Every structure is written in C-alpha cells, then in structure tokens.
Amino acid sequence: MKLVNIISISLCWLMIACSAKSESQQATNEEPEAMKPRIEFNADSAYRNVKAQVDCGTRVPGTEGHSKCAKLLVNELKRYGADSVIEQKTTVTAFNGDKLPINNIMGRFNKDAKRRVLLLAHWDTRPWADEDPDESRRKQPIPGANDGGSGVGVLLEVARCLQIEKPAIGVDILFVDAEDYGESQGQSENSWCLGTQYWVTKHPYTVENMPIYGILLDIVGGLDARFHREIASHQLAGSIVDKVWGTASMSGYGNVFINQIGGAVMDDHVYVNQLGIPCIDIIENQNSQTGSFPPTWHTHADNMSNISRTSLKAVGQVVLNVIYNEK
Ligand SMILES: [Zn+2]
C-alpha cells in the first residue's frame, strides 16, 4: 500500500462515495462502558501465525515461499473449521509487465447466514525493500512480518476463536494476493491491490448475502503501534470506523485505537468500497517516529524482532469483540 496525498484523492474518492451506498453517519457520544470479551484472543497464537508465514520465506507471487504459504493458509482455515475454503487462482500483469500467478484465499464461517461480515488482509509480501536505508539491498524482497504477515496472523487466530464459539453472523476471512507489487513512484495507483481488484469482479456474493461491512487489517503488528482513523475509511465507511473505534474504547484499547484522523492510504479497502461494501482499514500510518508507516515499512527490518504481541492482541481482540457484538 502507499500513502496518498489527500488533495489528489479527495476528488476521486468523493465520486466513489457518491456511488456507494449511503450510510448512517451516527456518531456515538455515549460514555464508553467496559466490554468483556466473549472469547479471549490469544496473542501467542497470533504471533506463531505470523512466524509460520515468515518461515515460508518471502511470499512474492511466483516464488516457492508463496506457494508454500498458500498451502499453509488453506490448511489452517480448514483446520479452524471453515465451512468452505475458496481458492481463486489467476494470472495478473503488474505495472512493470511481470506476470504474477496469484491466489485469493477465502475461508467462510457460518456459510449460510445472510448477515455477514468480511475480514481481510493481504498475504503477499513486497518484492523490493525500496525503503531500506541500505541502497545496495533495495532490490531484494522483504520478510514481510508486519506488512502482510501481521494481518493474516491475526485473522487466523480470529478463525480459531470462531471455531470455539460460533458467532450470530456469518464471517468471511479473505486473504488477498498481490497487494504489494505496486509502483512506489509515479501516479499509477491501480498498480497496487491487484488481488483485490480481481476479487471484486469475481466475489462469491449475491444481493442477499453481501457483507454488511468489511474490515481490512494491514501493518497491525508493529512495536507500540497506534491506529488512527484512516481517511478513506473515515470518508467512505465512517459509521464502521465509529463502531470499531468505539468498541476499542469500550474494550480498554482506547490508547491503541486513537480517535483522530490519520493519513490516507491506497489499500485493498478502497476497492471493496467500490463494490458497495463499506470497508475500513486498520493500519498504522501515524507512527511517532516517521509520521506515516512504521520505520520497518518496506525494509529488511520488517522481521519477527519488530513484531509486538501487544499490538496483535489489541487489534485481534477488538475485531473479535465487534464480531461477537453483532446480532
Ligand atoms: Zn507494503
């Protein structure tokens, strides 16, 4: 994903917002009450899920690590009791002409429920460490522990919890591919999120069982991470941001989910919104050192030593509490 300039995006996102479903913009002003989790999210388990992906090697489409990890994700979703696991394989062309064999993987829980929520994260990793301080290593792929691994690791632990207690609604966990093969310089914003761009044309929903909203997790495992209201989420799905940040506050994570506007990110949620599903992005994009993504972003330091169980726990527990709160 990349940070985008607010001025350059506001016009096109305004157009998207106009064509998307209208949403209630109710903000809750009530005093937060303590929310007791129905199921405890296990941070060690989420951490192990991140490590298992990193141990596959880099998950750049077409590499051995990529196919190894695809098998791992399919097996884990099955092991955690998904009613069905869909593998959506195709070949897409990247901005530089590379042909990428991609695989969007979706596990469906409580498959027949019409009222559903979509949870997603990208599982591929960036082929270049183009932000690394060492220029000589910028053409090498990154480990992608946080950028790629963390969102998937949290959602696999969510899947394990769903098996322990079935939620009242249906939940679809989607791992999208080829998010991070985009062009960092230049204006080709559609060069990112190739897996999601394909998925929105081939999604499995009908009008009846379209998810009521979506939550994207990206870069959620950094040290001392704080999550602000990402601008596209705020503009396109503000009521869902209110719901998630409100739940965070009631769950005791108001110090992690900061109720202030953050930067704007071109990420998978933008395309999901275009489909008509209000979708937000939980992403660290106001890091205290950098003012944007964490310092490990698109560098070789995006490894397990910079993954925090505390951050994984905060995000995972809030997502679980949101899910179990739905009727
Ligand atoms: Zn990235």
For residues 307 and 17, which has the higher predicted lDDT (pLDDT)? Answer: 307
CA 128 to centroid of ligand 1, rounded, Å? 10
**What is the pLDDT, as a whole number, of residue 32?**
53
Backbone angles phi, psi at 95, to 5 degrees: -60, -30
Tell me the C-alpha distance between 2 and 254, whole Å.
26
Contact between 139 and 128 (Cβ < 8 Å)? yes
pLDDT digits (tens, 9 = 90+) for 80-117: 999 999 999 999 999 999 999 999 999 999 999 999 99
pLDDT digits (tens, 9 = 90+) for 260-299: 999 999 999 999 999 999 999 999 999 999 999 999 999 9
For residues 13 and 276, which has the higher predicted lDDT (pLDDT)? Answer: 276
- Residue 27: alpha-carbon gap to chain centroid: 24
**What is the pLDDT, as a whole number, of residue 16?**
40
Q: Whole-model pTM? A: 0.92
CA 169 to centroid of ligand 1, rounded, Å? 31
CA 179 to centroid of ligand 1, rounded, Å? 7
Tokens of 107: 């596990």
Q: What is the mean pLDDT of residues 20-49?
A: 70
Q: How many CB atoms lie within 10 A of CB 12?
A: 12
pLDDT digits (tens, 9 = 90+) for 232-271: 999 999 999 999 999 999 999 999 999 999 999 999 999 9
CATH superfamily of 2-325: Zn peptidases (3.40.630.10)
Contact between 228 and 258 (Cβ < 8 Å)? yes
CA 96 to centroid of ligand 1, rounded, Å? 17
- Residue 2: alpha-carbon gap to chain centroid: 14
How does the average pLDDT of the chain come out, rounded? Answer: 91
Tokens of 299: 């560098």
Contact between 199 and 264 (Cβ < 8 Å)? no
CA 92 to centroid of ligand 1, rounded, Å? 18
Q: What is the mean pLDDT of residues 125-129?
A: 98
CA 2 to centroid of ligand 1, rounded, Å? 7
Tell me the C-alpha distance between 297 and 308, whole Å.
15
CA 32 to centroid of ligand 1, rounded, Å? 34
CA 86 to centroid of ligand 1, rounded, Å? 24
CA 1 to centroid of ligand 1, rounded, Å? 5
